[in-house]
Amino acid sequence: MGPHRNDPPGLDAEADDARQALVREILARGGLTDPAWRAAFEQVPRHLFVPYYYVHGVRGYERLRGEDPDPERRGRWLRGVYADEPLATRLRDGELVSSSSQPSLMALMLDALDVHDGHTVLEIGTGPGYNAALLSHRLGERAVTTVDLDPEITEPARRHLAAAGYRPTVVTGDGARGCPRHAPYDRIIATCTLPSVPQAWPEQCRPGACVLAPFATGLIALRVHATARGPCAEGRFLHTPAHFVPLRGALPLPAGLPRLRGLPRRAAGDDLFRFLLTLTAGVLDPHEALSLWEREGRPQRERYGVTVGRGGQWAWLDDPRGPYTWPIDGGG
């Protein structure tokens, strides 16, 4: 691929070096064990998807851009693009509405998605388009559909993808409703935090499909099964924490963390306890959650799971039909 027409002279070589350094960093942390995903991260140029992004400065957000005439600021932009960090790419009234996720977390999620040649994928949350490009590199652009609510996000994403040489299907619409026009899918991956799992997603999947999504500061991996009452999706959380921009659209925004007043400081500051509080927000009293958490040996995320069916959805500890289950009230 030739240089992007707006790239300053010499940027391609600098970007290539920075991209290979990022891949080495992810490899050193145990990621990108699949050679196909490693090749995608080595070859897809992230800088084409984030021509500018925002960082916290002394006076609030500061915008760094690749076309900055100041070489020092342009260098800061490029170093940030290929750092293993999330990038804020779109703000509205001071609030973050779109971002490019941390590359090592993207690598972990793509690996957990367990794609194979011939699979079709629906991505919820297009953002700047980088993740759709990685999927297109791995599976082919015809296999990838990506949806975002806002044309101010999808239109630039189309341009970024085209500049990088990829043309997957980019849809402006409510991701909570999926994209029935291109269903059924073998995989659905979301890059935004959910208040609940939309029932439309398993209904647009083939039996055996995987749905991977951020939920309650974690990542839930669900398998879709056909039942007499319709599609059911069930699975456990991955071990890693995950924090994403909330899904916007038909579903309500995720509930905030319950008040921590009166809880022991050691528990209130514990990431795994706060995960349980988020998972059971509005259902389980925080003090009850604390008793459960301590009684069960401070469970890791992998012991929790979620079940989604036509009759509703619930979270659970250890066993979906065991003693510890909680309804998920998210309008899914």
pLDDT(93) > 60? yes
Report residue 300's pLDDT band, with 50, 70 and 90 as the boundaries.
Answer: very high
pLDDT(110) > 80? yes
Q: Can you tell me the distance from the alpha carbon of 161 to that of 168, in angstroms, rounded to the nearest whole number? A: 8
- Whether 98 is catalytic is yes
Report residue 265's pLDDT band, with 50, 70 and 90 as the boundaries.
Answer: confident
Instruction: Tell me the β-bridge partners of 221.
Output: 212, 236
Catalytic residue among 98, 99, 136, 196: 98
Which H or E run contains 288? Answer: helix 286-295
Which H or E run contains 169? Answer: strand 169-172
Q: What would the two tokens of residue 115 be?
A: 């794609």
Q: What's the pLDDT at 1?
A: 37
Q: What's the pLDDT at 249?
A: 55
Sorted by where each begins, the domain ranges of the chain are 11-191, 265-327
Interval 118-161: pLDDT, tens: 999 999 999 999 999 999 999 999 999 999 999 999 999 999 99
Interval 267-295: pLDDT, tens: 888 999 999 999 998 899 999 999 999 99
pLDDT top residue among 205 and 93: 205
Q: What's the pLDDT at 107?
A: 97
In CATH terms, is domain 11-191 a member of 3.40.50.150?
A: yes
pLDDT(251) > 90? no
Which H or E run contains 202? Answer: helix 200-203
* pTM score over 0.75: yes
Interval 2-23: pLDDT, tens: 334 345 445 789 999 999 999 9
Q: What is the mean pLDDT of residues 317-326?
A: 95
Q: What's the pLDDT at 267?
A: 83
Q: What's the pLDDT at 259?
A: 62
Amino acid at position 295, single letter: R
Q: How far is CA 319 from the centre of its chain?
A: 26
